[in-house]
Chain A
Amino acid sequence: MASSSSNLISLKTSDGTVFKVERALAKTMKTVQAIIEEADANIYMIPIHNVFSHHMDMIIDYYKLSVAGKSKEFSVEKLDNDELKDFLLAVHYLNMEDLFEVLTQAVADRLEKKSVGYVRKYFGIENDFTPEEYAAIRKKNDWAFKGDDIEPEEDEEKQEE
C-alpha cells in the first residue's frame, strides 16, 4: 500500500536527521533511486550513509535553484577545502551527476595553477610513493613542461598499481 504522502521520500542522514524530499529530487540521486527500484516492499525511510544533514541542506538549496533555472547561482565558496571534499564525497556517493560536475569543477578551480607543494599542504594529501616511484613519475611527466624542441618519450607500459 502506498504511504499517504507517496510523493515524498524520507531520507535519514548519518547524523540521524530525517529529510522528507520530493520524489523528483530523490530521482536525481541515482543511488537512492536504485534502492527504491530494488525494494520489494514500499520504502518508508532510506538511510544515506556518509551524508550529513548540512550536506542535505546544500543539496536541497541546489535543487531549488536548478528548478528555478538559477543553478549558476549556487556557490560553494564559503566551504573550506575539507568541507568541499566531504560534500563532494557525499554527492559522489549519492551519484548526483549535475551537482557532482559542479563540485569537481569547484575543486579543479581551487587547484588551478597551484604548485604541487601548495596542493599537498592545503589539501592534506600525503605522498604515498616510494622515492623511486616519485622520481619515476616526475621524469615521466617531464614532457608537459618542456619547450617545443624536445623528442617524445617512448611510451612505457601502463604502470602496475
Chain B
Amino acid sequence: MCLNSFLQIYTTQDTLYRTEQQQHSTPIPATRSSELMGIRFSISSSQPSKPSLGELPESCVAVIMEYMDPPQICKLASLNRAFRAASSADFVWESKLPPNYHLIIRKIFDVSFPSHLEKRGIYSRLCSLNTFDGGTKKVWLDRSMGKLCLSISAKGLSITYIDDRRYWNHIPTEESTFSSVAYLQQIWWFEVDGEVEFPFPAGTYSLFFRIHLGKASKRFGRRVCNTEHVHGWDIKPVRFQLWTSDGQYVASQCFLKGPGKWRYYHAGDFVVEDGNVSTKVKFSMTQIDCTHTKGGLCLDSVFVYPSEFRKVKEFLN
C-alpha cells in the first residue's frame, strides 16, 4: 500500500515539524481500501465551510458502494461525478458477480463474448435472458441479488408422446419467455422428463414446473381461457422427482389445481457445493395412472431459482 503524500521532516530542538505536500489526485479507477491513492483534502486545517458527503473521494465512495445492491449503486451513480466514477469500479462489481462467472460465460457464450468488458458490463450482460443450448434454455442473474436463474423451455424437455398430435401440440404464446408452450389435449400416460448440466454457483436451488390448466388466448384484445379440456387432475396427484449427479434425490407429489392462471409447481430442491464444476440435474413430472385420462394442460417451462427466492418472490408461493 502506498501513500500519495511526501513527507519532509525537520527537527529542531525539541519538537518535530512535518510538512506534507500532497499530490492532487488524477482521475484513476478506484482501488480497494488497502491500496488507497489520491487522498483529496483541503490543505488548511480550519473548519470546512459546509461539510457534506459530496466531498468524499471516489475511492471512499467505491468502498461504500461495495455494501450496496446493484440497483442502488446504479441509482446513486447519478448523484455526482465521484459517485458515477465509483459506481463503475471493477472491484465493486466483482463482488456482485457469482464467484464462478468465468465458467458461466464460457458455458453460455461462444467466442463472441467481448473480452474488454469491465465488470459492470459483464454483470449487466449476465442479467439479461441469455439463450443457450439451441434456444431451448435461458440463464440470467437476478438484477438485484446477482443470483443465477435458469429456465428450460417445453421444447427442451422430453415429453412422452410429444410427436403425437392427438395428445400434444406446441402452440404459440405471448405468456412465456419462450415463443411456444406445449399443450396437452388428453392422455393416459403423462410424463415429462428433462435434464440440465450447468456450472451453478454454490448454493441451494429450487426447481419448478410452470403450468397452466386451460388454454389461454386473446379474443378482441382480451385474455380468454378455455377450460373445456381440463380434466383428470383432481383424481390422482402428479409425482415429481429430482436427481443430481452427486447422488441427491427428492420425490414429492401434489394435485394440480386452479385453472386459468400460470402456476409454479415446486418439484424439489438441490444443493450445489462447488461452483467450479458443472452440476447435472435430472427431473421428471409424471401422472401415469392409466385408469383415467387427464388433459387441458399447458406446459411452459421448467425454472431453477435460488431457494431463497421462495420467500421473496410472490409468484413462487
Contacts and interface: CB of A to CB of B under 8 A. Distances in A.
Interface of A: 14, 30-31, 34-35, 38-41, 43-47, 49-50, 81-82, 85-86, 88-89, 92-93, 95, 97, 100-101, 104-105, 107-109, 111-113, 115-116, 119-120, 123-129, 134, 137-138, 141, 143-146, 148-153, 155, 158-159, 161
Nearest to B69: A112
Most buried by B among A39, A41, A155: A155
A126 B79 CA distance: 7
B142 to A, nearest CB: 8
Interface string B5-41: 0010101001111101000000100000110100101
Nearest to A35: B7
B56 A126 contact: no
A158 B88 contact: yes
A151 B34 CA distance: 37
Closest 4 CB pairs of A and B: A124-B52, A108-B67, A161-B27, A141-B74
Given A85-B51, A128-B81, A155 B121 contact: yes
B54 A111 contact: no
Nearest to A86: B51
Nearest to B87: A141
Interface of B: 1, 3, 7, 9, 11, 14-18, 20, 27, 33-34, 36, 39, 41, 45, 50-57, 60, 63-68, 70-81, 83-85, 87-88, 114, 117-118, 121, 124-125, 127-129, 140, 143, 177
Contact of B18 (A47, A92, A138, A149): A47
A16 to B, nearest CB: 10
Contact of A126 (B3, B64, B80): B80
A111 B78 CA distance: 14
A31 B16 CA distance: 16
Most buried by A among B16, B18, B177: B16
Given A50-B41, A144-B71, A161 B85 contact: yes
A153 B124 CA distance: 8
Contact of B50 (A81, A89, A124): A124
B72 A113 contact: yes
A23 B54 CA distance: 34
Given A100-B33, A126-B80, A144-B73, 9 more contacts: A47-B17, A49-B45, A104-B66, A108-B64, A125-B54, A143-B143, A149-B129, A155-B121, A158-B118
A38 B7 contact: yes
Given A45-B15, A119-B79, A149-B129, A155 B7 contact: no
Contacts of A88: 56, 60
A81 B56 CA distance: 12
Contacts of B41: 49-50, 89, 93
A46 B33 CA distance: 23
Contact of A124 (B54, B64, B88): B54
A92 B36 contact: yes
A129 B53 contact: no
A112 B75 CA distance: 11
Contacts of A105: 67
A34 B72 CA distance: 36
A120 B63 CA distance: 19
Contact of B83 (A47, A89, A125, A145): A125
Most buried by B among A45, A81, A125, A126: A125
A53 to B, nearest CB: 13
A151 B143 CA distance: 13
Contact of B76 (A39, A119, A124, A158): A119
B60 A141 contact: no
A144 B65 CA distance: 15
A108 to B, nearest CB: 4
Given A82-B52, A123-B53, A125-B79, A40 B72 contact: no
A139 to B, nearest CB: 10
B19 to A, nearest CB: 10
A116 B53 CA distance: 13
A84 B7 CA distance: 28
Contact of A112 (B20, B68, B74): B68
B295 to A, nearest CB: 30
Contacts of A41: 9, 11, 16
A92 B64 CA distance: 12
Contacts of A134: 78
